[in-house]
Structure 1
């Protein structure tokens, strides 16, 4: 199990397994499945763990604390944006917006960490 988290091929394999399980559950629970729930909504916790291991292998430290800090700042910014634009905070709308932005940030940070890992292994 440790190799699934530390090896980049194992990480991508685990994401594929999560996708297959997701599609299977979505197919079994057709009518009861929430329509707004997407596959990438399940990826951020895994991608944060994977980013931690990739950056530890590429550098001497992890980038995850900075990623967490940026996600917190993004949450504060989105809260202020909602208040300024709409004058109120609707929790369902805000959490969906925050989680989708969280999806994009974690995918972007993982791709950057993967690129740094490849560059470190190549020797550039």
Structure 2
């Protein structure tokens, strides 16, 4: 059990998650929505992997990552409301989730580097 909460274990969780998601996407290739890519489904796994690293030393930076994620949501909301003069759920959620993908990949990398250093 100690392996899965180690830095190597979180990388294994991400690799297994990637393979499972790609397999499901391949299995349901006709019914899989074209707008959803593998990274969109991997964002929660990166969040969970960063949470697993909290006891190993990532607890110092993780609350700041969550605050930054909230600020991204507020920023996307304000930007779309001001720029488009309306806030549509589909455009907001697509933009917010794509930024979430990038943010949690970087957030996990920071947590991982903090734990192994």
Q: TM-score, normalised by structure 2?
A: 0.86
Residues 43 and 62 (structure 1 numbering): CA distance in 2 closer, same or farther, change over 3 Å? farther
| Residues in 1 aligned to 2:8 and 2:53: alpha-carbon distance in whole angstroms | 11
8 Å Cα contact 1:48-1:110 kept in structure 2: yes
- The aligned counterpart of 1:46 is 45
The one of the two structures with greater contact order (alpha-carbon pairs below 8 A, sep at least 6) is 2
Q: Deviations over 1:43-84 (max 9, x none)?
A: 22222232233343136x343222222111111110110011
- The aligned counterpart of 2:79 is 81
- Tell me the matched-pair count: 117
Question: The residue matched to 2:35 in structure 1 has which SS?
Answer: coil
Taking the TM superposition and a 5 Å limit, the aligned residue runs for 1:106-117 are 106-117=104-115
Superposition RMSD in Å: 1.8
Q: Are residues 1:63 and 2:61 paired?
A: yes
Q: Which moved more, 1:86-95 or 1:65-74?
A: 65-74
- The aligned counterpart of 1:93 is 91
Q: Tell me which structure has the larger Cα radius of gyration.
A: 1
8 Å Cα contact 1:51-1:63 kept in structure 2: no
| Residues in 2 aligned to 1:94 and 1:56: alpha-carbon distance in whole angstroms | 34
- The aligned counterpart of 1:122 is none
